[in-house]
Chain A
Amino acid sequence: MTRSAHRPRRRLRTAGAAAAVLLALGGCSASGADTSGSVGDGPSGTVTVFAAASLEEGFTTLGERFEKEHPGTTVTFSFGGSDTLAAGISGGAPADVFAAASTRTMKTVTDEGLTAGSPSTFVRNRLEIATLPGNPRGIGSLRDLAAPGLKVVLCDRTVPCGAAAHTALTAAGVDLTPVSYEQDVKSALTKVALKEADAAVVYRTDVRAAGDRVEGVEFPESAEAVNDYPIALLENAPNPTAAKAFVALVESPEGRKVLTGAGFLAP
């Protein structure tokens, strides 16, 4: 009975895995077919952009504009942790553009000679305290986070936002014991959005993206831990013409306007 009860589950899993493989293969062949169509002068075909998770809101808007400005093009995004994306590019992922959340991560890609030309910083991001709507605990500075009974979550020091938070806390001379070191910035933010934590140290853009669910509190020490966001065209880009055009849009005044609207700072 035990065994027969397990069997359908295994079948389900197999089916799931098969479906995942099919989807992945489908995705590959589709993008492969599209990118081959980049002939002529203007950009056409598919541009594949690997971008840090914090860029999701801004880049999605820019992607739509790009497709409208250049009919016949499709922008495909892969948003994720910068380190994960960099590992994918090193592993031969067919990407055209890479936008990272830190220069250190971009350096791992340039060091391998995988970028075409040198990367340029297109925006910067700084930290902010995210707290509950209306700021019921009256948080006004980093020092306030050390108040007893206050539940604070930070990013783990192994991920960029945690390293930046550590730098800022050290600069402020605040010794803080959080309830949790979260695995990425979005999980830290979610803990506040769900009201499980009273405050989190996250990026300014994350506070914007969360809308009414959290309230942002700026603090001066965030100037000590500003992240530069570099963007680069990749050496093995399947569609360099369209990729160049997309990078140009990101760096244009129009692109900057969209990104600063999402909370980024001009470089």
Chain B
Amino acid sequence: MTGRHGTPPDPGALAPPSDGGRNGTPTAKAPRTARPRTPGRGVPLLLLAPALLGLAFLLVPLLALLLRAPWRSLPEQLTSPEVWQALRLSLVCATAATALSLVIGVPLAWLLARTEFPGRGLVRALVTLPLVLPPVVGGVALLLALGRNGVVGQWLDAWFGITLPFTTAGVVLAETFVAMPFLVISVEGTLRAADPRYEEAAATLGASRFTAFRRVTLPLVAPGIAAGAVLAWARALGEFGATITFAGNFPGRTQTMPLAVYLALQNDPAAAIALSLVLLAVSVAVLAGLRDRWMRTV
């Protein structure tokens, strides 16, 4: 058993020499500046063991990908035009999906955080539904709504001659459907944490509600928006189920990297691993590049 008070049972490696006493009784020392996330002086084994297991669980598969990568044939695999076609399509579509999510997701988050209307809790729950829904189900739902014969799609086809399935625009919509909830949740959370009195002050100074949103609220929650956008982008980049169901799979038009990986896996695992490595490298590069600038605030 780990002691609840005083020194933890494993004081050796992780505890610094000076005992701050944060684990047990309050000390006479001056209170530290407010850093609520500062951990205790020691790490209980009951937390450390599962934590390390969790870390290994997440990292070992990625490590396996590196260990089993066909390094010798890799240059050959990666110089094929199909790979770059799929990668370019993935990047373009994920970015477009993020842009679309920003345009319609941020106002939605504002609506959920700053206005009162009946059934708001239900609406919020519905907004997060795509997070728990299997993406394939999302793809089927999109087909039924926006397909050539869909509830809305048949009118798009009849009036404008627009059909979305099997098009790059369809990929963007599928990715937006799956990724936007991440942005909405993130922005809504930041909005709730932000002090509404700034906006009220702007209003008393004569700003309209929209001006207050544009000049006060947006700059205030910019870090939350950026973090949400990164999450949404990453989710869109890895999107598979909704994309292949709604937009199909055609090289250069709707075949994004995850689709290429899945289909390569059927008969050429080496190619699938090579493609996975590219996707992994891109994801790591982007998240690492943005981390210092944006992610720290989350």
Tell me if chain B binds chain A: yes
Interface residues of A, Cβ cutoff 8 Å to B? 1-6, 9, 12, 83, 151, 153, 156, 158-159, 178-183, 187, 191, 194-197
- Size category of the binding interface on chain B: 35 or more
- The reply to whether A2 and B185 contact each other, CB–CB distance below 8 Å, is yes
Q: How far is the CB of A75 from chain B (nearest CB, A)?
A: 28
A4 CA to B244 CA in the complex, in Å?
A: 32
For residue B298, which residues in chain A have a CB less than 8 angstroms away from its CB? 2
A213 CB, nearest partner CB in chain B, Å: 12
Output the nearest chain A residue to B246 by Cβ-Cβ distance: A196
For the complex of A and B, 10 pairs with smallest distance between CB atoms: A180-B248, A1-B189, A2-B189, A158-B266, A195-B149, A179-B166, A158-B267, A1-B193, A196-B147, A196-B165
Q: What chain B residues lie within 8 Å of A2 (beta carbons)? A: 185-186, 189-190, 224, 227, 298
| A153 partner residues in chain B, CB cutoff 8 A | 248
Name the B residues within 8 Å of A83 (CB-CB).
266
Q: Mark B246-283, 1 if CB is under 8 A from A, else 0.
A: 01111100110000001110111000000000000000
Of residues 81 to 105 in B, which have CB atoms within 8 Å of A's CB atoms?
none
Is B172 interfacial (CB-CB < 8 Å)? no
In the complex, whether B143 has a CB less than 8 A from a CB of chain A is yes
The 8 Å CB contact of A1, one of B147, B192, B249, B264, is: B192
Q: Which of B250, B267, B268 contacts A180 (CB 8 A)?
A: B250
Q: Is B41 an interface residue (CB 8 A)?
A: no
Question: What residues of chain A lie closer than 8 Å to B249, measured between beta carbons?
Answer: 156, 180-183
Contact A151 B189 (CB under 8 A): no
B217 within 8 A of A: no
Binding site for A on B (CB under 8 A): 128, 131-132, 143-144, 147-149, 165-166, 185-186, 188-190, 192-193, 224, 227, 244-245, 247-251, 254-255, 262-264, 266-268, 298
Closest partner residue, chain A, to B248 (CB atom): A180
Question: Which of B148, B188, B262 is most buried by chain A, counting CB atoms within 10 A of its CB?
Answer: B148
If A1-B192, A153-B248, A156-B249 touch, does A183 touch B143 (CB 8 Å cutoff)? no
B147-A158 in contact (CB<8A): no
Q: Which of B148, B189, B193, B266 is the one whose CB lies under 8 Å from A195?
A: B148
| Closest chain B residue to A159, Cβ basis | B266
Q: Which residues of B contact A178 (CB under 8 A)?
A: 250
Set of chain A residues within 8 Å of B227, measured between Cβ atoms: 2
- CB-defined A-B contacts under 8 Å, sample of 18: A2-B185, A2-B186, A2-B190, A2-B227, A4-B189, A5-B185, A6-B185, A9-B131, A83-B266, A156-B249, A159-B266, A179-B250, A181-B255, A182-B248, A183-B249, A194-B143, A194-B147, A196-B166
B264: chain A residues within 8 A (beta carbon): 158
B254 and A180 contact, CB distance less than 8 A: yes
